[in-house]
Structure 1
Amino acid sequence: MTLGQEIEYIRKLRGFSVVYMCNALNILETDYMHIISHGGPLSVYQKIMLVAATEYPFDLMSNN
Structure 2
Amino acid sequence: MRVKPRASRKIDFEGFQQALRILAEKRYPQKDPEEAYLTLVNHVCQSKGPKVHSIQPEATGIFE
TM range (shorter): under 0.3
Q: Which one scores higher on RCO, CA 8 angstroms, separation ≥ 6? A: 1
Larger radius of gyration: 2
TM-score (norm 1): 0.27
Give 1 or 2: higher helix fraction.
1
